[in-house]
Amino acid sequence: MRVLAAMSGGVDSAVAAARAVDAGHDVVGVHLALSRAGGTLRTGSRGCCTIEDAMDARRVSDLLGIPYYVWDFSERFRDDVIDDFIAEYRAGRTPNPCLRCNEKIKFAALLERALELGFDAICTGHYASLVDGPDGLELHRASDAAKDQSYVLGVLNADQLAHTYFPLGDTPSKALVRAEAAERGITVAQKPDSHDICFIPDGDTRGWLAEKVGAEAGEIVDREGTVVGEHDGAHAFTVGQRRGLRIGTPAPDGKPRFVLEVRPVNNTVVVGPREALAIAEISGERFSWAGPAPRESEFACEVQIRAHADPVSARAWVSDDGVRVVPDEPFDGVAPGQSAVLYIGTRVLGQFTIDSTVSAVPVEA
């Protein structure tokens, strides 16, 4: 099998490529250049797309004896990931750029080019597993629950899964991957994991958004609409936030307030008590299935609303208008724009973008 190994410069993609070579596949390494910003060295950077990362990927490819290329996907990344991120925040939503990158770049743009060049599959260092199910290929959680990345892969469809290869899915722990890398002489064996948002290398998301979106002062109100404070820009607030609210009027019960909603139309931030973050229902119009679609329009499942959140037992309803989910126990602090990934056991069934929520705590009349 001809395999295109996506090499970030980290230890996971390095070992994944090495295992693909060991399996006898015809492997070619490729690093995706996603930023045109000059001088993006690792100093002060927390992402995964620096110049040094590209150098690390080249050294691993040389060690494995495979061809290596750098492909410029920066324009596509800007259009499909960065601009989408900005637009979502302008709309008062909370997007997941890593999930969008998987959907639009790694398993769309990259896969499209790989297939055009005659490759059979792309190989990545994601911790997830593919299983031949009774109705077709299925996406499942990795054996290492602590490193499972199936949530951010929930956007993949059946065609994409058919051309994807996850060599690390059955590895019991990241420590074993690092040990294997060291035994192979891979220099990035102890390289720290990337974290945060790769196109905001200093980690200052609020400052970055202020520059891109602009900051306009507005009101902070409670659930009844009473003004309790002012803000310098609604984009800086996310659902569930407690710190940095600068509310001048204390709550009647003296308890802390949390961000419950961001309303970009009138530049308003809504705050309320901790218990008001409980969400009894979520729904969304944009959905997709990771492999075979569910046979029934109503079914029991588990739902995960963040990459590292615990799954919640729920019931789901699917129609042409979208997906609606009611959890057995309320979700905690859900924001429109987040992705809800549906599971049945370890299998990823599919996902949808959350458009609306229903609070478990009604507003008092």
Tens of pLDDT, residue by residue over 239-266, are 888 887 878 777 778 788 999 988 887 8
Active-site positions read: 101, 198
pTM of the model: 0.90
Predicted pLDDT of residue 90: 84
d(CA 205, CA 37): 17
d(CA 169, CA 261): 37
Residue 210: phi, psi to the nearest 5? -60, -35
Q: What is the side-by-side order of every strand in the sheet holding 164-165?
A: 68-72, 26-33, 2-6, 121-123, 164-165
Q: What domains are there in the chain, each with its CATH number?
A: 2-125+167-184 (3.40.50.620), 215-272 (2.30.30.280), 277-359 (2.40.30.10)
Kindly tell me if the per-residue pLDDT of 43 is higher than 50: no
What percent of the chain shows pLDDT beyond 90? 61
pLDDT tens string 100-133: 999 999 999 999 999 999 999 999 999 999 999 9
Predicted pLDDT of residue 345: 95
- 175 pLDDT band (50/70/90 cuts)? very high
- Position with higher pLDDT, 255 vs 346: 346
d(CA 341, CA 306): 8
- Position with higher pLDDT, 27 vs 208: 27
- Residue found by looking up tokens 């896969």 in the block: 111
Angle among Cα 279, 281, 282 to the nearest 5 degrees reads: 100
Predicted pLDDT of residue 44: 42
Predicted pLDDT of residue 196: 66
Predicted pLDDT of residue 46: 45
Kindly tell me if the per-residue pLDDT of 41 is higher than 50: no
Distances from the Cα of 74 to the Cα of 32, 83, 95, 113, 197, angstroms: 8, 12, 19, 15, 15
Mean pLDDT, residues 341-361: 94
d(CA 149, CA 99): 10
- 45 pLDDT band (50/70/90 cuts)? very low
pLDDT tens string 273-316: 999 999 999 999 999 999 999 999 999 999 999 988 899 999 99
Sign for the pseudo-dihedral over CA of 77, 83, 89, 92:
negative
* DSSP letter string, 266-315: TTEEEEE-GGGGEEEEEEES-EEESSSPPSSSEEEEEEE-STTSPPEEEE
- 36 pLDDT band (50/70/90 cuts)? low
Mean pLDDT, residues 45-57: 75
Type of residue found at 341: V
33, with CB counted inside 10 A (0-12, 13-18, 19+), is middle
Helix or strand (DSSP H, E) at 85? helix 83-90
- Position with higher pLDDT, 249 vs 56: 56
Type of residue found at 54: A
